[in-house]
Structure 1
Amino acid sequence: MFKRFGLALALLMSSAPTWAFETQATAAWVYDMTTGTVLLDKNAQTPIPPASMSKLMTLNMLFEGLHDGRYQTGTEFSVSEKAWKMGGSKMFVKPGDRPTVDDLIHGIIVNSGNDACVVVAEGMSGSEEAFAARMTERARELGMENSFFANASGWPDPDHRMSAHDLGLLAVRLIEEFPEYYPYFALTEYSYQGRVPANSQNRNPLLRIKGGDWKADGLKTGHTEEAGYGLVGSAVQNGGRRIVFVISGLPTDRARAEESERISNWAFREFTMKTLAKAGTRVAEAEVWMGEAEKVGLVPAEDLARLIPAVARDKITAEVVYQGPIKAPIAKGDPLAELVLHVPGMPEARVPLVAEIDVAEGGFFTRLTTAARVLMGRVFAPDAPAT
């Protein structure tokens, strides 16, 4: 039968005034990459106009081509008249130019070049339409269920949509799968052949923040009249903890800058990594059936570290769940139980617990005394269920 019993976890943590975060963004998603914890989800599954933030998918397609050897950073692409005539943000390529992949990555990330995106799309798929269809197909393969691409640049189109969640998943992928190319996202200036002095600054406001206990290093801003101001951002704390966040629908550039900084401060300062139990430290015991010992210690196989909201320091509860008593023999390291952690406002966490030591099967005397106990239990409590 299932056994449950509670535990007291002593956590020494500083308190904070609040945990809930109110954002004026119409859609937001905040994710702690170090622990895989979603810290904020506001309309994150709703498809929204992503504006230039969807350029991250164009970059993903290009990075995949670099990764599998189809292209090199020095590969040159041609510039069509369509690309040259693109409006909005540009890196200012023109027909006759032969920008390299390296040039185009700079132009997309730093200058948010719509023209650069068309160059990439036509160079990889022949046409922007074919490239957009492949982007949508690839998004499905990567688990982005609420992404639909009509073009490579995020140019306004009623069929061009991504959810904040999908943008966040894409950001995590770019960081994890393409570490050799991720440093591009932290670049603050670029001018292709000196042509964009007025548009050479990366618009990501977090890249201009100096000092403090965290540093931003990506990824992409976006803005159209329909979408408002948005940002897919990532920052890393001095200790190595990394967050990714997506905000969209802000009314001004200034509001985007302020909200992105507030979210980063909140994510890093209102949550703390705590080691709740060291590997091999006994946290509970399980009853043993027909063994040389009546109980066996339960320990985590690895250090049990969790991200904890500062305000939850006195509200964390835990229980151990196992189906027992557990029949001997038992080998050290056998998974026997789960430690279930309850942190207010966060998803339930289940951590496996393993046997602390070997427990051999009991001999004849053990079997005899166990049988006697069962028999006596049935005599004096005939209605009790058998174990």
Structure 2
Amino acid sequence: MSSARLLSLLQKIVVSFALLALVSGCTTASTPEQVLTVPAAPQKYAAIVVDARTGKQLFEMNSTASRYPASLTKMMTLYLVFEALESGRLSKETQIPVSANAASQPPTKLRFRAGETVDVDTAIKALAVKSANDVAVAVAEYLGGSEDAFAAAMTAKARQIGMRGTVFRNASGLPDGGQHTTARDMAVLGLALRARFPQFYYYFSATDFMFRGQLVRGHNELLSRVPGVDGIKTGYVRASGFNIVTSYDAGGKRLVVVVMGADSARERNAHAEMLLQRALSPSPAKAQFVFGN
């Protein structure tokens, strides 16, 4: 066995025991356990579950480890849009111009042409539901003067609300080696969006919207699959794996679940749902989490 393969195997064993200790409270157990597979590589996986009413951390693994946010970045882009709406700098009818730079962004996007405009209400839906990269850049250029300046404002706002491990380099979440975050910080941002902008939070619950006579569908299948889930954002780039921030509000319970680094959207969704159901259970069975790859 090569040294690299041996090191990888040892890392998986160590992390598996760490997860077992975290969930069951010890490294050995005298009662049968449920074995649950984590659908991610150890170096990409991170997760956290937070009680949104009390701030209590109900589960975490690698929650302060540096990860790529992918399109979860747009949560902060929207935070700054909502601030601009509150201050009166924007209205929902404000027309945002689309530059050649914005129009040239890779998918996912709404395929605006340079010189066109998008109203703020549509822009919010495009970011929250479709995760449109062309719209993200157009918004950043309009509010920040440039995307670089807007990204600096995003990072400053992150520090202000308690996101200690996050640096933003763009408004979309497209690959940039200098852009990083943590699962904990994404939970903080998810909590802050609901607490700070309850009047705008409904945008995160939308599963589709109409654009130029066409129905545009979103990526967050948990919204229609799991009762009580009311947002918030998914994301993917190759370097990050499949990410999600999920909010739940039902039956007197309010939770935020973050999963980062999953191998597929389906496995990410299933894992987030499993963490949510365990957090809602009054007495969850002991579990041993093991990595599936």
Quote the residue 1:100 is aligned against. 119
- Equivalent position amino acid for 1:209 in 2: R
1:20 Cα deviation from its structure 2 partner: 10
Provide the C-alpha distance between the structure 1 equivalents of 2:57 and 2:37, rounded to a whole number of angstroms.
15
Contact 2:161 2:192 (8 Å CA) reproduced: no
Residue 206 of structure 1 corresponds to 222
Which structure's relative contact order is higher, taking Cα pairs within 8 Å and 6+ residues apart?
A: 2
Gapped runs of 5+ residues in structure 2?
A: 1-31, 287-293
Contact 1:91-1:191 within 8 A present in 2 as well:
no
1:310-365 CA-to-partner distances (Å, cap 9, x unmatched) read 679xxxxxxxxxxxxxxxxxxxxxxxxxxxxxxxxxxxxxxxxxxxxxxxxxxxxx
Which of 236, 256, 259 in structure 2 is aligned with 1:223? 236
Given residue 226 of structure 1, which amino acid in structure 2 is its aligned partner? A
Greater helix share, structure number: 2
- What CA deviation, in whole Å up to 9, does each residue of 1:93-115 have, x standing for no partner? 22232211101000001111011
Q: Does 1:192 align with 2:211?
A: yes
Question: What TM-score comes out, normalization by structure 1 length?
Answer: 0.62
Which residue number corresponds to residue 259 of structure 1? 271
Pairing partner for 2:58 from 21, 36, 39: 39
Tell me which residue corresponds to 1:301: none
Residue 143 of structure 1 corresponds to which residue in structure 2? 162
1:50 equivalent in structure 2: 69
Distance 2:152 2:213 in 1: 34
Aligned-partner Cα distance in 1 for 2:213–2:185? 35
> Letter of the aligned partner of 1:184 in structure 2?
Y
Quote the residue 2:91 is aligned against.
72
Q: TM-score, normalised by structure 2?
A: 0.81
The CA distance in 1 between the partners of 2:254 and 2:119, in whole Å, is 31
Aligned equivalents of 1:184, 1:116: Cα separation in 2: 15
Q: Does the C-alpha gap of structure 1 residues 91 and 186 become closer, same or farther in structure 2, counting only changes over 3 Å?
A: same
- For the residues of structure 2 that align with 1:245 and 1:160, how far apart are their CA atoms? 21
Partner AA of 2:93 in structure 1: G
Misfit runs of 4+, over 6 Å = 17-22
Deviation at 1:43, TM superposition (A): 0.7
**Structure 1 stretches lacking a partner, 5+ long:** 1-16, 272-308, 313-387
Does the aligned pair in 2 maintain the 1:107–1:192 contact within 8 Å? no
Evaluate the alpha carbon distance shift between residue 311 and residue 264 of structure 1 in structure 2; reply closer, same or farther with a 3 A threshold: closer
Residues 358-373 of structure 1 aligned to structure 2 (within 5 Å): none
RMSD: 2.1
Judge conservation of contact 1:19–1:310 (CA < 8 Å) in 2: no
The alpha-carbon deviation at position 261 of structure 1 amounts to: 1.5
**Structure label with greater radius of gyration:** 1
What's 2:148 paired with?
Answer: 129
Secondary structure of the structure 2 residue equivalent to 1:159? coil
CA gap 1:43/1:310 in 2 versus in 1, 3 angstroms:
closer
Taking only the aligned residue pairs, the percentage that are identical comes to 36
